[in-house]
Structure 1
């Protein structure tokens, strides 16, 4: 699955997320939801999990690249990977990433306002709609009087981690992670992307799933383990690693 195709799928999902009030790092959101797709030909053991980062020409002297590599190294260490000089590494790890801005338009219903002096209002606050026609007051139709289009900025953050055998150049693992929301900073989204991409490493070939990572009280990355949403789990082959835990 290419980043472009995944972006297209995510754009549709973003509409639902906006309607339900989801934002990547804001407000009362309690978790960040990331879409993950993995391709695997992994056969390595813990004893051979030595690696070095490989950089493109543009990444060679990049402080941003070093920052993301440090985050990835910390997460790889939880899966028994050890960073070593390139000459003695069994694997090379490449990071590629991007952020894309877009606008999403959502059509919102407009309801009749019985007290115009207080300004218009949208939706049905505090569950009043359950009474129907203003409940005990009755007599007014509570259906929408019209609709208005509201546009929101949205940012799609993407990360790809690619692992190859150093000696043969054979690709053994490639995983893509993408999430979206109102956060315009890639550096703030990166910890979620990396943890989601490497959760339950190695995933089976062709695995597509959604990973949820809790936020801590300060809005940072929570200490709880990432959780895979079982309803979105689709694997072309059985995963050799631990099975994801479905959300109840």
Structure 2
């Protein structure tokens, strides 16, 4: 019984990231070369125009992009259009296997109880850069993390910092970004950026 409880505690810790802050980053086009001047404008969806949280997301993102030499400029003169998508949802626990036929090994249903008093949430951020002149997508990066806080604003500094920890990320497409909380109350700081092993 003791061994089962220890295993359950370890599983819960890995879900919540108790060992430290981290996020998994995926790029759809690693080693992309962003040519031209580093100016952008944000292309908003109608739901983002009416969202109370979205301006805070954009402020965090603008600050981090400025550290990478990007300037927010007027829509017509910007070299890139930047699309932002983010999402927070309850995380499901599942078991995967490489030998399963498609449709056979699906995610198992959520457990009827919450381990150690809290439900886990999955937070995700995707940034897509399009050349304004051609409309072609030139770079796409996604960051995801899990914790027990359903508030997307709480996760956003970690996701923004992770998605832009390397800019652009080169091959391979999958990375793990480890961060630490700033004790002075600022945003998280990147500790390491390592490729995920296949």
**What's the TM-score, normalizing by structure 2?**
0.74
Query: 2:61 matched to 1:98?
Result: no
Deviation per CA, 1:115-166: give whole Å up to 9, x if none.
xxxxxxxxxxxxxxxxxxxxxxxxxxxxxxxxxx963311000110011001
2:58 aligned partner = 69
1:104, distance to aligned residue in structure 2 (A): 5.0
3-state DSSP class of the match of 2:140? strand
Q: Partner of 1:246 in structure 2?
A: none
Return the alpha-carbon distance in structure 1 between the equivalents of residues 66 and 197 of structure 2.
25
Structure number with higher relative contact order (C-alpha < 8 Å, ≥ 6 residues apart): 2
Q: Alignment partner of 2:193: what SS?
A: strand
Deviation per CA, 1:182-219: give whole Å up to 9, x if none: 11211000000010011110012551011111013367
Cα distance 1:16–1:48, how it changes in 2: closer, same or farther (>3 A)? farther
Q: Which one of 153, 166, 188 corresponds to residue 187 of structure 1?
A: 153
Figure out how many residues of one structure are paired with residues of the other and give that number.
Answer: 170
1:56 aligns with 2:45: yes
Q: Please give the alpha-carbon distance, in whole angstroms, between the structure 1 residues aligned to 2:41 and 2:197.
A: 30
Alignment equivalent of 1:215, drawn from 171, 181, 190: 181
Partner of 1:173 in structure 2? 139
Structure 1 residues not aligned, in runs of 5+: 1-14, 106-148, 235-248
Deviation at 1:39, TM superposition (A): 2.1
**Greater share of strand:** 1
Deviation of the 1:226 alpha carbon: 4.3
User: C-alpha root-mean-square deviation of aligned residues, in Å?
Assistant: 2.8
Q: Which residue of structure 2 lines up, in the alignment, with residue 196 of structure 1?
A: 162
* Cα deviations by residue, 1:79-125 (Å, 9 ceiling, x for unpaired): 100000101000011110111114659xxxxxxxxxxxxxxxxxxxx
Please tell me whether residue 151 in structure 1 is matched to residue 144 in structure 2.
Answer: no
- How far the C-alpha of 1:31 sits from its partner, in A, is 2.9
Q: Which has the larger radius of gyration?
A: 1
Q: 2:190 aligns with which of 204, 225, 244?
A: 225
Verify the 8 A CA contact 2:23 2:143 in the aligned structure 1: yes
Q: Structure 2: which 5+ runs fail to align?
A: 1-7, 95-111
